[in-house]
Structure 1
Amino acid sequence: MTIPGQFLATINSRLFMNRLIELHSAGKLAFFGKLAGLRDRRAFQRHLAPVRKKRWVVYAKAPFAGPEAVLAYLSRYTHRVAISNSRLIAFDDNEVTFRYKNYRSSGANRQQVMTLAADEFIRRFLVHVLPRGFHRIRRYGLLAGSARKDCLAQARDMLGVAPATDEPPAAETAPVPCPPCPCCGGTMVIIETFAAWCQPRGPPTARPSARETIHDPA
C-alpha cells in the first residue's frame, strides 16, 4: 500500500507542532541570545503561526549508489560522538578552541577555527546527546523488537526456509597430504603445526649447576 506524500506531510506537521507546544508549556524549551523573547507563550505562538501555513513536503527518492551507499553513510554516525578529539585545539579552563567545517564556504576557507566559553561548548555538545528513553538505532517492520521473533518465524514458514541455527556450521577440511621425506622417500607424519604468527621454540638448554666446573679444552 502506498501512502500519499501529502497525507504524511499533514500528519507529521500536526504531530510536530503539537509536541513542540507541549514542550514549551512544560518549560522544557530553552531560548538564548536573540531568541530569548520566545520564552513568552504568546510570542512563541506568533513565531509558529507562519509555519502552520506552510505546506510540508515529504521528499524521498532512491539513492544514486544503491542501499549499500546509504548504509555506509549512516554507519559513520551511529556510534560517533558530536566532536572528535582531533578537532580540539586548545583548552585553558575558560575557553575551548576547536576546528569546524563551514559548509557556506568552499576551498581552503571551509576549515575554520572557533573559540567558545567552556559552558557554551558543553551546552552545544549536550544538544547531540539523546534524551532518556530515545534510541539511536531503531528497527521497524519484521525486525521490530516487540514482534521480531514471531514475524521472522511466520516469514520463514511462508517462504519455506528453515530457521538459521546459532551454531556455526563445522568446516569440512580435507587432510593435507604430507610431502615425502627427502632422505628416504618415506611418508612423513605431521606431529605439530605452528600458526603463521608463532615461532617454534627449541628445547631449553641445560645449564650447569653451581657445583659443576667447566674446563677449557685448551
Structure 2
Amino acid sequence: LKTIAADERYLGAEIGAIMVLHTWGQTLTHHPHVHCIVPGGGLSAHGDRWIACRPGFFLPVRVLSRLYHRLFLEKLRAAYRADKLPFFGNLKHLSDHSAFDTVLTSLRRIEWLVYAKRPFAGPKQVLAYLARYTHRVAISNHRLLAVDNDGATFSWRDYRDGARMKSMTLAADEFIRRFLLHVLPDGFQRIRHYGFLANGHRRAKLMLIRRLLAATPPSIADQAPEQQPACAVADTSERPPCPCCGSRMVVIEILPGPRRGNLTPDTS
C-alpha cells in the first residue's frame, strides 16, 4: 500500500494505515488475516499539501495484488532458506528443497486477489468497524449455547450456506485447543499503525494534515452540552496536547489522594 501510493502514477503521497490482526473464523479455526483502515489520501512528498484520492477509487487492485504476490513469495522463500519454516504432519515432505520449490512455482502461476472495500459512510461507521476487531476475543458469551459432559456447543454462521446460523459441539479439550490458538504471545502487538499514523510521528503529522485541510482539532467545545464531562474545566489553553491525536487534553475526573487522617502512622 505504501509503495504503490507513493508512486506518482497512482497517488504520489504518503498514506497512513491502521491494521488489526484477526486470527479466527466462525468455528474458531486458525484463520489469520488483517483488517486495514486506510484514509483516502495522504501527504505530498514535501509535506506541503494533502493529496486526496479520486472519488470512488483509491489504488488499482491489480497492481496491489501483483506486488503483494511477489513480496509474499520472496519472504516465504527467504524464511525457508533461513530454516524458519518447520513442517509437520502432511506438510513434512516440504522440508525437501525440490518439493518446496515445486509448490512455490505453482503459487507463482496463481492470480492473487486484493479486495478494497468502498469508503465508510462516516466516522461513526469507522469506529464501529474498528470496535468489532479491536476489543473482541475469539468467541463471545452470547454464542455459547451449552456446556455439559458432551462438550461445548456454540453457534456459528455458515457463509457458504447463505450465512445461515448453525450450532457446533466440540469436545472440551478440542474447544479449549481452538480457543487457545488465538491467545497471542506476550508482548505481541495486534494493532499496528503505519505511514503518517505511525507512532513515532503521528502527532506531528496529524497536526500538519489538519492545518493543510484547515480542519479544527476536536475539542470539548465541539461536544453537545449533554456530552461534556460534568467536572471538565472550561479553560483548556494551558493543558498539554494529547500524545496520540494532538488535540487538547480533556479532564474527565480528578481522583483525590488518600486523606491524611486515614493513614496509619509508622511506629517502627
Q: Using structure 2 for the length normalisation, give the TM-score.
A: 0.46
Q: Is the 8 A contact 1:82 1:128 kept in 2?
A: yes
Pick which of 79-88 and 123-132 moved more. Answer: 123-132
Structure 1's 104 and 116: CA in aligned 2 closer, same or farther, altered over 3 A? farther
Q: Which has the higher strand share?
A: 2
Mapped to 2, the partners of 1:23 and 1:116 lie a distance apart of 35
Q: Is the 8 A contact 2:138 2:182 kept in 1?
A: yes
C-alpha displacement of 1:133: 6.0
Q: Is the 8 A contact 2:151 2:172 kept in 1?
A: yes
Pick which of 23-32 and 5-14 moved more. Answer: 23-32
Structure 1's 28 and 130: CA in aligned 2 closer, same or farther, altered over 3 A? farther
- 2:234 is equivalent to residue 170 of structure 1: yes
**AA in 2 matched with 1:78:** T
The aligned counterpart of 1:193 is none
Mapped to 2, the partners of 1:160 and 1:69 lie a distance apart of 23
Alignment of 1:190-201 (within 5 A): none
Secondary structure of the residue aligned to 1:76 is: helix
C-alpha displacement of 1:158: 3.9
C-alpha displacement of 1:22: 4.0
The aligned counterpart of 2:147 is 90
Q: Is the 8 A contact 2:145 2:155 kept in 1?
A: no
The aligned counterpart of 1:7 is 63
Q: Which has the greater radius of gyration?
A: 1
C-alpha displacement of 1:127: 3.3
The aligned counterpart of 1:76 is 132
C-alpha displacement of 1:77: 2.0
Mapped to 1, the partners of 2:179 and 2:85 lie a distance apart of 18
- 2:75 is equivalent to residue 19 of structure 1: yes
The aligned counterpart of 1:199 is none
Structure 1's 7 and 72: CA in aligned 2 closer, same or farther, altered over 3 A? same
Q: Using structure 1 for the length normalisation, give the TM-score.
A: 0.55
Pick which of 159-168 and 76-85 moved more. Answer: 159-168
C-alpha displacement of 1:11: 1.9
C-alpha displacement of 1:20: 2.8
Q: CA RMSD in A?
A: 3.9
Q: Is the 8 A contact 1:90 1:97 kept in 2?
A: yes
**AA in 2 matched with 1:97:** A
Aligned partner (choices 161, 167, 172) of residue 112 of structure 1: 167
**AA in 1 matched with 2:169:** M
C-alpha displacement of 1:81: 0.8
C-alpha displacement of 1:149: 2.5
Q: Is the 8 A contact 1:88 1:99 kept in 2?
A: yes
The aligned counterpart of 1:128 is 182
The aligned counterpart of 1:139 is 193
Mapped to 2, the partners of 1:151 and 1:164 lie a distance apart of 16
**AA in 2 matched with 1:83:** I
Secondary structure of the residue aligned to 1:104 is: helix
The aligned counterpart of 1:49 is 105
Structure 1's 45 and 131: CA in aligned 2 closer, same or farther, altered over 3 A? farther
Structure 1's 141 and 131: CA in aligned 2 closer, same or farther, altered over 3 A? same
Mapped to 1, the partners of 2:154 and 2:75 lie a distance apart of 35
- The alignment covers a number of residue pairs equal to 165
Gaps of 5+ in 2: 1-7, 11-58, 222-231, 236-268
Secondary structure of the residue aligned to 1:138 is: strand
Structure 1's 51 and 85: CA in aligned 2 closer, same or farther, altered over 3 A? same
Q: Is the 8 A contact 2:193 2:199 kept in 1?
A: yes
C-alpha displacement of 1:12: 0.9
Q: Is the 8 A contact 1:23 1:29 kept in 2?
A: no
Secondary structure of the residue aligned to 2:192 is: coil
Mapped to 1, the partners of 2:209 and 2:105 lie a distance apart of 47
C-alpha displacement of 1:113: 1.7
Alignment of 1:175-194 (within 5 A): none
